[in-house]
Structure 1
Amino acid sequence: MNSKDLTVIEHIEEIRKRLWLVAIVFILGIVGSFFLAKPLIHFLQANEQMENLPLNVFQVTDPVMIYLKVILFLAFVITSPVILYQLWSFVSPGLHETERRATLSYIPYSFILFLAGISFSYFVLFPFVMKFMITLAGDLGVTPLIGINDYFNFLFQITLPFGVIFQLPVALLFFTRLGFITPMMMVKVRKYAYFGLFTIAAFITPPDIMSHLLVTVPLLILYEISIAISKIGYRKYLKAEQKRQIEEQQESLQSN
């Protein structure tokens, strides 16, 4: 049965089945993450800026909370390709065959860009932010006493948004491939997009020009890459539309 012919109850039942599948994979991801969390925590603590600043525990439950947060983070990363595939499977019956094939291929690229965004934030941006904060504390004549819970919360607040922001090329290509936006539209609103990305960079970086540039420049490059990629997707969209119109005309002539 075609998804377009399903009733509301059948749609809800389909969503429920997909959510159950995602939940099962997520639970399996949690089980696997128990073995990965400890070495990842040690790795994330080995920051160059933290060599002379040991992390502290201010509450008895802090170590458990950090362990759980890292486990959940790893489980989410492991499950994210399944989530994307289930979303695609749910909406794909409403797409044409060429659109289904094209959008399915975006899932691995989306996952890779998510990891690339997190890696960029941790290895490039995070050290500059920590250095700025520690230097500022020294200028104010105070000694940083950093709790492990605050450290990891701050780390996740810096890195996770970049995993989402780096989805920009895939997201814009997806909407271009479906004909919702065009490269011409993206070029037309470029200055507004730049201002928006500049504002986002200001919110997630400390108030120094170097950190701001480290974030703003890659975001602007991502937008330009998105325009270039969307031009390819738009040409494919036009070809697919032309082919579809020819097929519809042929079917109409045959039926007459």
Structure 2
Amino acid sequence: MSHMDEMSLVDHLTELRTRIIRVLAVLVLSMIAGFFAAEPIIKYLMDSIPVGTINLNALSPWDGISMYMKFAFIIALVITLPVILYQVWSFVSPGLRPIERSATLRYIPIAVILFLAGMAFAYFVIFPLAFNFTSSVTRNLELNEMYGISQYFAFMFNIVLPLALLFELPVVVMFLTKLRILNPRVLRKIRKFAYFILIVVATVVTPPDFISDILVAIPLLLLYEFSVLLSGMIYRKQLAEEREFEEEYGEEQHRHEQTRTGPSRGGDIVS
């Protein structure tokens, strides 16, 4: 490896470290703000269905503090998500063309909206189904429902966060297509494997009943097909831009060769 390549690698690593430090700084500041926002959010969720019908208990002296920490982190994660995406975009943007830079920058608000939509879908649709299913099993066994607050919210987070992240699939696919790492042909080729993975995920994050699995699996499969559609649109646009560039560049090169060689010998004889 040449000295120039070593310097280039060092520069990239230095830039990566700087961007990671920026993300961590925003995350820490957001967590401080999250501590103040945690209490009203926790109380709202405790008063909402399905937990509003039961009592949550502290099973450890640390449960209350643990709840503040966990909710502060989740709030900070949501606030920091646009910063994380922007830093990732800034890191890879020098390798993109100007039109690709502006196009991929617009993915950031879309990614945030999809993340929030995934959280809402998981909390309002899937989580009540999962909780009611497990609660019905508990009642069938004639057990007293006494839930620890830490275990209850851990159960909720294990459903909400994975689904929120899975809702980022279209943005990830669009971004990788712009970077020419993915294309619709590859996505169609791995469709069966992707379907299998998404169905496994849907089965893991939902209670073991067929209806809940279907309610999660169908949106995930639709998200994948939507991702394939978006990838196809971006890929066709890339091909069209390449054809226009080649045509324009080819004409310029042809004119340059004519200017350099001058008039043909036959033209001199006629004149």
Task: Give the structure-1-normalised TM-score.
Answer: 0.91
- Which deviations, in whole Å up to 9, do the C-alpha atoms of 1:13-50 show, x marking residues without a partner? 22222222222222221222122111111122233222
Question: Is this contact kept in 2: 1:92–1:100, CA < 8 A?
Answer: yes
Q: Alpha-carbon deviation of 1:250? A: 5.9
Give the number of the structure with larger relative contact order, counting CA–CA contacts within 8 Å between residues 6 or more apart: 1
Q: Alpha-carbon deviation of 1:150? A: 0.5
Within a 5 Å distance, the mapping from 1:173-184 to structure 2 comes to 173-184=174-185
Structure 2 unaligned residues grouped into runs of 5+:
261-271
Give me the whole-angstrom Cα distance separating, in 2, the residues matched to 1:52 and 1:32.
30
- The corresponding residue for 1:83 is 84
Q: 1:140 to 1:78 in 2, by over 3 A?
A: same
2:187 corresponds to 1:198: no
Question: Is this contact kept in 2: 1:47–1:127, CA < 8 A?
Answer: no
Between 1:126-135 and 1:198-207, the stretch displaced more is: 198-207
- The corresponding residue for 1:44 is 45
Question: Is this contact kept in 2: 1:116–1:163, CA < 8 A?
Answer: yes
Give me the whole-angstrom Cα distance separating, in 2, the residues matched to 1:15 and 1:231.
31
Give me the whole-angstrom Cα distance separating, in 2, the residues matched to 1:44 and 1:91.
39
- Which deviations, in whole Å up to 9, do the C-alpha atoms of 1:169-196 show, x marking residues without a partner? 1111222233322223323332332222
Question: Is this contact kept in 1: 2:57–2:149, CA < 8 A?
Answer: yes
Question: Is this contact kept in 1: 2:198–2:221, CA < 8 A?
Answer: yes
2:170 corresponds to 1:169: yes
Give me the whole-angstrom Cα distance separating, in 1, the residues matched to 2:190 and 2:177.
15
1:181 alignment partner, SS class: coil
- Which deviations, in whole Å up to 9, do the C-alpha atoms of 1:112-156 show, x marking residues without a partner? 111111110000000000000100001112112110011111111
Between 1:113-122 and 1:137-146, the stretch displaced more is: 137-146
Amino acid at match of 1:163: A
- The corresponding residue for 1:240 is 241
- The corresponding residue for 1:54 is 55
Give me the whole-angstrom Cα distance separating, in 1, the residues matched to 2:85 and 2:65.
30
Between 1:110-119 and 1:40-49, the stretch displaced more is: 40-49
Say how many residue pairs are matched.
253
Question: Is this contact kept in 2: 1:56–1:147, CA < 8 A?
Answer: yes
Aligned-pair RMSD on alpha carbons? Answer: 2.1
Give me the whole-angstrom Cα distance separating, in 2, the residues matched to 1:163 and 1:24.
23
Give me the whole-angstrom Cα distance separating, in 2, the residues matched to 1:213 and 1:38.
34
Q: 1:97 to 1:246 in 2, by over 3 A?
A: farther
Q: 1:188 to 1:24 in 2, by over 3 A?
A: closer
Give me the whole-angstrom Cα distance separating, in 2, the residues matched to 1:145 and 1:10.
55
Within a 5 Å distance, the mapping from 1:117-156 to structure 2 comes to 117-156=118-157
Q: Alpha-carbon deviation of 1:234? A: 1.3
Larger Rg: 2
Give me the whole-angstrom Cα distance separating, in 1, the residues matched to 2:49 and 2:37.
22
Q: Alpha-carbon deviation of 1:219? A: 0.8
Between 1:20-29 and 1:120-129, the stretch displaced more is: 20-29
Q: Alpha-carbon deviation of 1:249? A: 4.1
Q: Alpha-carbon deviation of 1:80? A: 1.0
Give me the whole-angstrom Cα distance separating, in 1, the residues matched to 2:186 and 2:226.
15
Question: Is this contact kept in 1: 2:34–2:72, CA < 8 A?
Answer: yes
Q: Percent identity?
A: 42
Q: 1:252 to 1:45 in 2, by over 3 A?
A: farther
Structure 1 unaligned residues grouped into runs of 5+:
none
Q: Alpha-carbon deviation of 1:248? A: 4.9
